[in-house]
Amino acid sequence: MVGMAGFDLRSASLHLSQYSETSSSYQNTKSLLQFYDPVVLVVPPNKYAPDGMVGISELVDQFYASVKKVNLFNKF
């Protein structure tokens, strides 16, 4: 499962999505990122990412290198 939230500062609107990424090329995620055209992305660090989700962080590194990437650590 992939979760994505988009917050538009211009309109003060929040869009939430959760979906199964069925493609190893992360096509659903790429489409949403192209739609939202993010300025900042918050992602889990690879070592804390669930199995199979490491690719999302790598996708961001590869295709969205100009976007600021913030690693979010869980502190319990």
pLDDT digits (tens, 9 = 90+) for 46-67: 655 555 556 777 888 888 889 9
How confident is the model at residue 11, as a pLDDT? 92
Cα(76)–Cα(70) distance, integer angstroms: 19
Q: Is the pLDDT of residue 31 over 60?
A: yes
Task: Give the model's confidence band at 14: pLDDT under 50 very low, under 70 low, under 90 confident, else very high.
Answer: very high
How confident is the model at residue 53, as a pLDDT? 57
Task: Give the model's confidence band at 15: pLDDT under 50 very low, under 70 low, under 90 confident, else very high.
Answer: very high
